[in-house]
Amino acid sequence: MNPTRARIGVVAASILVLSGTVILAPAAGWYGGAPALAATQQQKTQARRNLDKVMATLRRVDIAYASGNAAEAQTGFEQARSIWNLVAPAISTREAREAQLMFDGLGAKLKGGAPPADVKSTISGMLEELSEDIGDELR
pTM over 0.85? The answer is no
pLDDT in tens, 92-125: 999 999 999 999 999 999 999 999 999 999 999 9
Q: What is the reported pLDDT for 4?
A: 64
User: Exposed/middle/buried for 104, CB within 10 Å: 0-12, 13-18, 19+?
Assistant: exposed
Closest CA to 62 of 45, 40, 78, 77: 77
Q: What is the reported pLDDT for 15?
A: 58
pLDDT in tens, 18-44: 455 444 444 444 333 333 457 788 999
Q: What is the reported pLDDT for 103?
A: 97
Q: Is the pLDDT of residue 76 over 80?
A: yes
Percent of the chain clearing pLDDT 90 (strictly above): 66
Q: What is the mean pLDDT of the segment spanning 51-74? A: 97
pLDDT greater at residue 72 or residue 18: 72
Q: What is the reported pLDDT for 36?
A: 47
The residue count for the chain:
139
Domain at 39-137: CATH code:
1.20.120
Q: What is the reported pLDDT for 39?
A: 77
Domain range summary for the chain, segments of one domain joined by +: 1-31, 39-137
Q: What is the reported pLDDT for 7?
A: 62
Q: Is the pLDDT of residue 13 over 90?
A: no
Q: Distance between CA 58 and CA 79 in Å, rounded?
A: 9
Angle, in degrees to the nearest 10, between helices 70-87 and 41-66: 170
Q: What is the reported pLDDT for 107?
A: 97
Q: What is the DSSP string of 46-95?
A: HHHHHHHHHHHHHHHHHHHHHTT-HHHHHHHHHHHHHHHHHHGGGS-HHH
How many CB atoms are located within 10 Å of the residue 108 CB? 11
